[in-house]
Amino acid sequence: LLLGRKVLCLSNMGDDITMKFRQKLLLIDDNLGTEDVAALKFLCVDLIPLKKLESAQSALDIFQLLMAEEYLNEEDTFLLAELLYRIKCHFLLQKLNYTKERVQEYLPEKGRVSPYRQMLYELAENITSEMLKEIIFLLRDHLPKRQPIISALELLILMEKQGLLTESNVKMLEKICTSVSPDLLETINSYKREKVSRELDVICKLTSLNVLRTNYKHTGKVSVSFNHWEINSGKCNITFFFFFPDRRKGSLPEGNMSAGNQTLTTSLLFNTFIETISFFPLSFLQKLTSYKMDGPKRGFCLVINNVKFDGDLRERRGSCKDAGELERVFTWLGLEVKIYKNQTSKEIEDLMEIWQDSKKHINSDCFICCILSHGDSGAIYGKDGELISIRTIMSYFTAKQCPALAEKPKLFFIQACQGKKIQCPVYVEVDAKVPELPSVQQRISPSESIPEEADFLLGMATIDGFASFRHVDQGTWYIQALCRKLQLLVPRGEDILSILTEVNEDVSRRSASSGKQMPQPAYTLRKKLIFPVPRDPPPS
């Protein structure tokens, strides 16, 4: 009976999964106990919405969630191998054709469990039942009394829910570990050192501080004076610049950071130096080089959703799923979303003319426009089957045409094919013209579509000349990945370019029987664009 239940459960995971792959998952599930399932759930918290994870009762439920989020399939089982490795079920790795050594080899490149989640899991492994009781007692005024806690993993999840613990703030965790068992602090300190090393490794790779040589008119004129500290440990030579506001007019000074070796020393002098100053300049530089996003209004987000077309263009089934998801996510991010459906090329131009009115954007931080349609190289189709170039659409919002958006970020996300039609299975269609018609223009790269001035970002679902994929029920690969990554990474303080890099990685992992897809962002942004973390949880 139990085996029958499992087979029935797995049968719903997708028709494209082979019986052999299902059998592997069944064998792995049979060898995992209750504590193993709890550990898997904890390690997947950053990958799967918590609400969905909490409903999982077995390893099979977790596998199904991972597959639904495109993290696990018969062609790519590494994430599951990583999870089994993390929970020390090394004997099960052979079921996935992995060994412990092979997983260790691939982890730096393919690992998906964050260092923060690894640290918390390692910490939980070292918390005894007596320690757990003491910690719960110390936190009694901060935790809900209605919810019993039976494990260290549950405690850590509850602390995160209560805002007592985040990736960037482990002070409360340090405090209770100091009181209960100072030995536990080494796990946290190791995580902090590695976190600083990763941040400094990025700095070490910079050849100059070009990002700082900019006039920051949007946030007010800023001129600075600076001092620097230099440390030569023998392994890494880094110059730290400390910038201080100065009322005198002037440009930002030039400077550079270099590293003879990317491996950072662990000497006492270096660690003391890092503990003292590293977090201040990094956070200060981030603030200095980010767009202002604390105005009276976040801004407007236009969503043009072309589903039905005149003539020989196919209906874009599944596009309404994308439009709804964009509306939920950008509303959550504080934007006022306006949706327009089935617009002709002339109506799209008229909309751009209406929305370039500066009065609408005077108090806004940014402007976003999402277009979901069929397309060709450097252009998208209106409902009437006429092409309008992406460059024309974006040109309505240049500083000259829309002064209120000058020096503010303007984001355009285009979900449309940029090339020829591809023959796909019935459940996957392409956003390309059918039948194939000659392009009305030469191929245009995303960078050529952007107006020749600063503060624009163009996110394309695919590179020039290629098709993009759309599920007739679940929406497009690109828009769904964009919405998922915004919900996951905005609360972590990631900037938009880092988020789009994650989107690229997500979409590139997917595959249909006819091919794959690679999104392509292009931009003239001068600073980081970091959306403020919303007070409400991400929309499910």
Catalytic positions, please? 374, 417
CA dihedral of residues 257, 259, 260, 262 (deg, nearest 10): -170
CB 135 within 8 A of CB 176: yes
Place of tokens 């089982």: 77
* Segments of 319-406 assigned E as strands: 336-341, 364-372, 375-376, 379-381, 387-389
What SS3 class is residue 2? helix
Q: Where are the alpha helices (DSSP H) in 162-314?
A: 171-180, 185-205, 268-277, 279-288
| Distance separating alpha carbons of residues 256 and 164, to the nearest angstrom | 37
Token pair of 88, please? Answer: 């020390």
Report the amino acid identity of residue 24: K
DSSP 273: H
CB 335 within 8 A of CB 379: no
Place of tokens 């193993």: 36
| Distance separating alpha carbons of residues 316 and 313, to the nearest angstrom | 9
- Report the b/e string of 290-317 with b at 16+ CB within 10 A: ebebeeeebbbbbbbbbbebeeebeebe
| Dihedral-angle region of residue 220 (phi above 0 means left; psi in -120 to 50 means alpha; beta otherwise) | left
β-strands 336-341, 364-372 pairing: unpaired
| Distance separating alpha carbons of residues 202 and 480, to the nearest angstrom | 29
